[in-house]
Amino acid sequence: MIAVATSEKSASCAALRDKSTNMKKIEALIKHLISRINQTHLNAFCAIAVTLFVLLQLRSLFNKKDSRRQKSVHTIDGKKFLRVEMVDKKVGDNDDIPGEYECLESPGEVGDNDDIPGEYECLESPGEVLYRAISISDDEAMLKSQLFYEKMKRRRSVRSFSTRPVSAKLILNLIKTAGTAPSGANMQPWTFCVVGKAEIKSRIRAIVEAEEQVNYSRRVGARWVLDVAHLSVNWCKPYLTEAPFLIVIMKQTYQLDANGERHPTYYNEISVSIAAGLLVAAIHNAGLVTVTTTPLNSGHLIRELLNRPKNEKVLLLLPIGYPAEGAMVPDIKRKVVEEIVRFY
């Protein structure tokens, strides 16, 4: 009996020892898991904090320009507008905002710059963009107008050209200026044919002089010949070949779509004439000279020579170049401003 009791007691002690060992293992495992969980949480927290910091820095960088602009949305005449107020604007800031509203939505239009100059941005204005006005003082405007007049009053029709070459890039800049002219329905019904090849210039000159000789002798009459006599104008046009470039300005009397159907161009002659005026001003502004030449009764022959489509007609010829040394111009006087203006 004693032996049996001793054996049972030993078995019970062994079981308790095993249980204690297992509990210690479980406790160690739990501590290890807790330690790993805390480390994982800490790493995750640090990663989130770093990510938020980077995002805030990026937001600050991209919104730096607008950080000084307080905005609030308003509705005016059924359209949404965003009111923008400048806060702590410093000298040298690039936010030129002359107006009080900025138009925020103008689908279908693009401009040279996406920055909108108004203090309110229009949210709903399909097909339009805000005009980017040049903000100058009254005194500066007066000075600019006077300086431009002083330059333009020296413009003359020059018929003697230097052999000095003219850059084709310069010619393109002049034509780009002409292309900014207003036009009926914005159809821009103009084509500027730049002739630089001597052979083509010679053929154009031959066409013009042949028709001009007939014009002076039969068509225009004695009165015209007498009226232009003091200007040294006659049927001979040597400047058409002497100038480095000859620009043939074409007006598009109608337009053709991809299917060959005709579509009208509105006020095409007026529109192209305005563009020609801008071109003449740009030519003089660049230090070059020209003389407007109207190829009476020879436009269709010039069009065929240049292989232009039938919807284009010649409006003007503009020889372009630097003035020849010692170039002479007629001694004329322009009307004073009081003779050409009426205020109402």
What are the backbone angles phi and psi of residue 100, rounded to the nearest 5°?
-110, -15
Q: Which two tokens stand for residue 25?
A: 């293992």
Short-list 320, 174, 315, CA closest to 247: 320
Tell me what pLDDT residue 108 has: 45
* Per-residue pLDDT in tens (0 to 9) along the chain, 344 residues: 444 444 555 555 565 566 567 767 777 776 776 666 666 666 776 678 778 777 777 776 666 545 444 444 544 445 554 444 444 443 334 444 344 344 444 444 444 444 444 444 444 456 889 999 889 999 999 999 999 999 999 999 999 999 999 999 999 999 999 999 999 999 999 999 999 999 999 999 999 998 887 876 666 666 656 666 666 666 678 999 999 999 999 999 999 888 888 999 999 999 999 999 999 999 999 999 999 999 888 999 999 999 999 999 999 999 999 999 999 998 889 999 999 999 99
Asked if residue 293 lies in contact with residue 208, where contact means CB atoms within 8 angstroms, the answer is: yes
Rounded Cα distance between 206 and 301, Å, is 11
Question: Architecture of domain 150-340 in CATH?
Answer: 3-Layer(aba) Sandwich (3.40)
Tell me what pLDDT residue 249 has: 98
- Residues whose CB is less than 8 angstroms from the CB of residue 72 and which lie 6 or more positions away in sequence, other chains included: 82, 83
Helices assigned H by DSSP within the chain: 2-62, 138-152, 168-178, 198-214, 222-227, 239-242, 268-285, 299-305, 337-340
Task: Give the largest CA-CA distance in the chain.
Answer: 161
Q: Provide the residue ranges of all domains of the chain, joining segments of one domain with +.
A: 70-122, 150-340
